[in-house]
Amino acid sequence: MESRTFVFQKWDVKKYISKKNLKRDLPSSLVVFFVALPLCLGIALASGAPLFAGVLTGVIAGIVVGSLSGSQLSVSGPAAGLTVIVLGAITQLEKYPVFLLAVVLAGCLQIILGLIKAGTIGNYFPSSVIEGMLAAIGLILILKQLPHALGIDLDFLDESVFRNDHRGAYAALGEAFSQFNPAALIISTLSIAILVYGTRVRMPSGIPAPLIVVVTGVVLGLMLNQTAYALRAEQMVKIPVVKGWEGFLGLFIHPDFSAINSREMWTVAATIAIVASLETLLSLEAIDKIDPIKRVSPTNRELLAQGIGNICSGMLGGLPMTSVIVRSSANVNSGARTKMSAIFHGCWLLVALLFIPALINKIPLSCLAAILLVTGYRLTRISLFRQMFAKGWDQFVPFVVTIVAILLTDLLKGVAIGMVLSIFYLLRINMRNPFFYRIQEEGNKKNLRIKLAEEVSFLNKAAIQVVLNNIPKETNVIIDGSNSRYIDPDVLETIFNFQRHAYTKGILVTLENIKKYYFVPRLTDQIIQDINKK
């Protein structure tokens, strides 16, 4: 079980720096670096933040969170799941330093969540709502990145263009497509083909497909620049080229603490803290499942590590971070054994930021858009809709409603709407399944046995009343509570009232193993000890 103390354990140098582990962790860190670099740039682009902030977040997530986390294989960084929140927050708060303050406070809230042992928070969100949230994020990523893939300057989700009048929309579309660049379309199409078919064929020497996409994009961009379809300057990556130590320090942006009383800023901070924590915990659970050694990561310690990472990121001008399933799964698949792989990948990102920014600036935005388009499709793939439909209406309806609500409002409101609908279905199921009954006929007399469930709450009262009120006259009724550990007092009152007045209808009521009062069930110390032994 997870330790009750929150003091980060001292490192076992022999464990992490041994030749046996480094032989696996170093090559794995390079693979994760090649996957993370284009994703850091692409997510910063989709979030409307400086591209430098994306790489900086990857550096902090790798080195700081990697060092403090209790997970051996999880890799953190800027996440696609937060792009919608970050984009909306930067627009809403207007000033980037105010947004950075929200990131710092979100980190503080995550530390509080870790201290109060809220690591199990992810278990209280229905999977249908989580899947709906991820699918909606995937759709928004596709709509946001499609213009970059086509080489046009347009935002398909811009309210000022598409939610006013149709004439303005037509004019905006006409102007945007007049700037269409075939070079961007060629690069994005070829990049998508590499990403799609690269997962079906074995890449040479295990080179990750995103790296091949970036290299291909750079080469094609340089070749097409010699033609009439050269990419425009705004269609290329732009991160500052560092000139000296002072120039490097000048790239950092610090939060604006004068906005500490802003209600909008606190709302953004709480939203980031909740969604980032939830995504981290879900990712951590998924990574533990594919860990070859089947280690279990301490969730509360992970929240502490993520909180410290977000504080550092916000203080220096970075984006909010989470544990990310794409980079973490690449880490596992490349054979990593310890957290040193995640730490090394952060070091490689720092080296790239310091020494090869000019080369990074030759990457076309269209190839980064292709990576995010494929990422978005994987989040909202068609097979996911089929799987959710096969699970039944109680899963499919909240899933679809969450998607639509997020697209029409925002992520937090959409998830809240999905949660309300899921709770409605949960209550509906609980009301319908408090018991089962069997009717037997013996001559002219009917025998009805009602067997109550293990837990009968006040939510079941209405359904039980309906059944009892519709029992035919001249019936023998047996209400059996043999399996019940707990029956709510309201339900007991309904049953006892029915027993007292049933004779007026010629109904004979027998109660079996039903007590006059039930204590609220809870695990005893002996049960907890038995669980720990197992």
Task: Please report, in tens digits, the pLDDT of each residue of the chain (534 residues total).
Answer: 444 444 455 555 556 677 778 888 888 888 788 778 888 888 898 888 988 899 999 999 999 999 999 899 899 999 877 888 898 899 899 899 999 999 999 999 999 999 998 887 766 778 788 788 778 878 887 887 888 888 776 655 554 444 444 555 555 555 556 667 788 888 989 989 988 876 555 555 556 677 788 888 889 988 888 877 788 877 887 777 777 677 777 789 999 999 999 999 999 999 999 889 988 887 787 788 778 888 888 889 999 999 999 999 999 999 999 998 778 877 887 778 889 999 999 999 998 888 888 888 888 888 888 887 887 888 788 998 999 899 888 889 999 999 999 888 766 678 789 888 888 887 776 666 555 556 566 556 678 888 888 778 777 787 788 888 888 888 888 888 888 888 888 889 889 999 988 888 888 999 988 888 887 655 444 445 555 555
CA dihedral 405, 287, 299, 47 (to 10 degrees): -40
What does DSSP say about strands 486-487 and 475-480: parallel, antiparallel, or unpaired? unpaired
Alpha helices in 409-476 (DSSP H): 411-432, 461-469
Asked whether residue 264 falls in the same domain as residue 290, the answer is: yes
Residue 349 placed within a domain: yes
Residue 525's pLDDT is 47
Cβ contact 72:340 at 8 Å: no
Asked whether residue 150 falls in the same domain as residue 75, the answer is: yes
Residue 157's pLDDT is 55
Asked whether residue 341 falls in the same domain as residue 394, the answer is: no
Cβ contact 236:361 at 8 Å: yes
Residue 520 placed within a domain: no
* Whole-number Å distance between alpha carbons of 367 and 122: 34
Asked whether residue 470 falls in the same domain as residue 394, the answer is: no
Report the candidate in 63, 28, 56, 61 with the shortest Cα–Cα distance to residue 41. 56
Residue 158's pLDDT is 54
Residue 440's pLDDT is 60
* Whole-number Å distance between alpha carbons of 172 and 483: 67
Asked whether residue 345 falls in the same domain as residue 468, the answer is: no
Long-range CB contact pairs, 291-297, < 8 A, 24+: 291/72, 291/73, 291/332, 292/332, 293/337, 295/72, 295/73, 297/69, 297/70, 297/71, 297/72, 297/74
CA contacts within 13 A on the Cβ side of 337: 13
What does DSSP say about strands 435-442 and 445-452: parallel, antiparallel, or unpaired? antiparallel
Name the β-bridge partners of 480: 451, 512
Residue 2's pLDDT is 46
* Whole-number Å distance between alpha carbons of 306 and 97: 20
3-class SS shares of the chain: helix, strand, coil, % to 5: 65, 5, 25
Residue 280 placed within a domain: yes
310 token code pair: 């977000």
Residue 438's pLDDT is 61
Q: Give the burial string for 471-493 (b: 16+ CB within 10 Å, else e).
A: beeebebbbbbeebebbbeebbe
Residue 352 has a CB neighbour count (10 Å cut-off) of: 19
* Whole-number Å distance between alpha carbons of 95 and 90: 7
* Whole-number Å distance between alpha carbons of 74 and 302: 10
Asked whether residue 427 falls in the same domain as residue 437, the answer is: no
- Domain that includes residue 225, residue range: 15-379
Interior angle at CA 147, CA 145 and CA 149, nearest 5: 70
Residue 16's pLDDT is 66
Residue 154's pLDDT is 63
Asked whether residue 353 falls in the same domain as residue 395, the answer is: no
Residue 116 placed within a domain: yes
Residue 120's pLDDT is 77
Residue 265 placed within a domain: yes
Asked whether residue 59 falls in the same domain as residue 208, the answer is: yes
Distances (CA, A) of 426 to 35, 412, 459: 40, 21, 10
Asked whether residue 223 falls in the same domain as residue 149, the answer is: yes
Residue 198's pLDDT is 67
Name the β-bridge partners of 511: 479
Number of compact structural domains in the chain = 3
Rg (CA), the chain: 29
The separation between the first and the last C-alpha atoms of the chain, rounded to the nearest angstrom, is 12
Residue 311 placed within a domain: yes
Residue 349's pLDDT is 92
Residue 440 has a CB neighbour count (10 Å cut-off) of: 10
Which of 396, 431, 466 marks a domain boundary?
431
The beta strands (E) that lie in 150-304 are given as none
3-state per-residue secondary structure call for 42-62: HHHHHHCCCHHHHHHHHHHHH
Asked whether residue 388 falls in the same domain as residue 501, the answer is: no
Residue 533 placed within a domain: no
Residue 54 placed within a domain: yes
Asked whether residue 334 falls in the same domain as residue 318, the answer is: yes
* Whole-number Å distance between alpha carbons of 493 and 294: 49
494: CATH: 3.30.750.24
Asked whether residue 427 falls in the same domain as residue 284, the answer is: no
Count of H-run helices and E-run strands, the chain: 24, 8
Report the candidate in 210, 179, 182 with the shortest Cα–Cα distance to residue 367. 210
Cβ contact 270:109 at 8 Å: yes
